[in-house]
Structure 1
Amino acid sequence: MAPDAYAALATRNKVEQFLNAACTGNLDLFKKLAAQLDDGKGLAGTVADVKDANKRGALHFAAREGRTEVCKYLLEELKLDVDAKDEDGETPLLHAARQGHTVTAKYLLDHGADPAIPSDLGATALHHSAGIGDIELLRFLLSKGVDIDSQSDAGTPLIWAAGHGQHDAVKVLLEHHANPNAETDDNITPLLSAVAAGSLACLELLIQAGARVNIIAGGATPLHIAADIGSPEIINCLLKAGADPNVTDEDGQKAIQVAAARGNRGAVEILFPLTSPIQSVPEWTIDGIIEHMQSEMGKQQGDKVETTLSKQDIPQVSPEARRKQQKQKNQEGDVAFKARTLIWLDAKACRALVQIASKGMLPGGAALRYCWHNKELVNAFRFSSNTCSFRV
Structure 2
Amino acid sequence: MSSDASSALAVREKVKKFLDAAQKGKLELFKKLAMQLDEGKGLARTVADVKDANNRTALHFAARDGRTEVCKYLLEELRLDADVRDDDGETPLIHASRQGHFHTVNYLLEHGADPSASSELGATSLHHAAGLGDIELLKLLLSKGVNVESESDAGTPLIWAAGHGQQDSVKVLLEHKANPNAETEDGITPLLSAVAAGSLSCLQLLIEAGASPNVQAGGATPLHVAADAGSKDIINCLLNAGGDPNAFDEDNLKPIQVAAARGNRVAVQILFPVTTPVPNFSNWSVDGIINFMESQANKEQEITKKNDDPKGPTSANSEIVEAAPEAKQKALEAKSRGDDAFRRKAYLEAIDAYTQAIDLDPNEANLLSNRSLCWIRLGQAEHALADAKVCRSLKPNWPKACYREGAALRLLQRFDEAANAFYEGVQLDPENKELVDAFREAVEAGRKFHGTDEPKQGN
State the TM-score, normalized to the length of structure 1.
Answer: 0.85
CA distance in 2, matches of 1:105, 1:165: 23
CA distance in 1, matches of 2:270, 2:128: 36
* CA shift in 2, pair 1:109/1:53, >3 Å: same
CA distance in 2, matches of 1:212, 1:7: 63
Letter in 1 for 2:79: K
Cross-structure match for 2:109: 109
State the secondary structure of the residue aligned to 2:444. Answer: coil
Cross-structure match for 2:454: none
Alpha-carbon shift at residue 58 of structure 1 (Å): 0.3
Cross-structure match for 1:362: 354
Alpha-carbon shift at residue 85 of structure 1 (Å): 0.3
CA distance in 2, matches of 1:112, 1:66: 17
CA distance in 1, matches of 2:346, 2:36: 42
Q: Which moved more, 1:188-197 or 1:363-372?
A: 363-372
Cross-structure match for 2:8: 8
CA distance in 2, matches of 1:137, 1:163: 18
CA distance in 1, matches of 2:15, 2:106: 28
Cross-structure match for 2:444: 387
CA distance in 2, matches of 1:355, 1:225: 13
State the secondary structure of the residue aligned to 2:105. Answer: helix
- Check the 8 A contact 2:127/2:157 in 1, yes or no: yes
CA distance in 2, matches of 1:365, 1:131: 30
Alpha-carbon shift at residue 41 of structure 1 (Å): 1.1
Cross-structure match for 2:393: none
**Whose helix fraction is larger, Structure 1's or Structure 2's?**
2
Is 1:86 the counterpart of 2:78? The answer is no
For 1:96-126, what per-residue CA distance to the aligned partner results, in whole angstroms no more than 9, with x for missing partners? 1111111111111111100111100011111
For 1:254-293, what per-residue CA distance to the aligned partner results, in whole angstroms no more than 9, with x for missing partners? 0001111111111111000111111232211111111111
Alpha-carbon shift at residue 2 of structure 1 (Å): 0.4
Cross-structure match for 1:206: 206
- Check the 8 A contact 2:338/2:353 in 1, yes or no: no
Written as runs of structure 1 = structure 2, the 5 A alignment for 1:1-392 is 1-309=1-309, 314-316=310-312, 351=343, 362=354, 371-372=377-378, 373-374=380-381, 384-387=441-444
CA distance in 1, matches of 2:16, 2:346: 30
CA distance in 2, matches of 1:354, 1:23: 35
For 1:179-235, what per-residue CA distance to the aligned partner results, in whole angstroms no more than 9, with x for missing partners? 000000000000000000000000000000000000111001000000011110000
* CA shift in 2, pair 1:131/1:239, >3 Å: same
CA distance in 2, matches of 1:365, 1:118: 35
Cross-structure match for 2:395: none
* CA shift in 2, pair 1:159/1:94, >3 Å: same
- Check the 8 A contact 1:348/1:359 in 2, yes or no: no
Letter in 2 for 1:52: D
Q: Which moved more, 1:298-307 or 1:74-83?
A: 298-307
CA distance in 1, matches of 2:181, 2:333: 29
CA distance in 2, matches of 1:361, 1:295: 20
* CA shift in 2, pair 1:45/1:157, >3 Å: same
CA distance in 1, matches of 2:175, 2:14: 49
Letter in 1 for 2:222: P
Alpha-carbon shift at residue 306 of structure 1 (Å): 3.1
- Check the 8 A contact 2:142/2:148 in 1, yes or no: yes
Cross-structure match for 1:334: none
State the TM-score, normalized to the length of structure 2.
Answer: 0.73
Gaps of 5+ in 1: 323-338
Cross-structure match for 2:399: none
- Check the 8 A contact 1:187/1:349 in 2, yes or no: no
CA distance in 1, matches of 2:173, 2:291: 44
State the secondary structure of the residue aligned to 1:268. Answer: helix
* CA shift in 2, pair 1:172/1:244, >3 Å: same
Alpha-carbon shift at residue 362 of structure 1 (Å): 3.1
- Check the 8 A contact 1:63/1:104 in 2, yes or no: yes
Letter in 1 for 2:197: A
Q: Which moved more, 1:235-244 or 1:34-43?
A: 34-43
Alpha-carbon shift at residue 340 of structure 1 (Å): 10
State the secondary structure of the residue aligned to 1:169. Answer: helix
- Check the 8 A contact 1:214/1:221 in 2, yes or no: yes
Alpha-carbon shift at residue 300 of structure 1 (Å): 1.0
CA distance in 2, matches of 1:67, 1:354: 37
Letter in 2 for 1:83: D
State the secondary structure of the residue aligned to 1:362. Answer: helix
CA distance in 1, matches of 2:235, 2:35: 62
Cross-structure match for 1:328: none
State the secondary structure of the residue aligned to 2:150. Answer: coil
Alpha-carbon shift at residue 145 of structure 1 (Å): 1.0
Alpha-carbon shift at residue 349 of structure 1 (Å): 5.7
Percentage of pairs with the same residue: 60
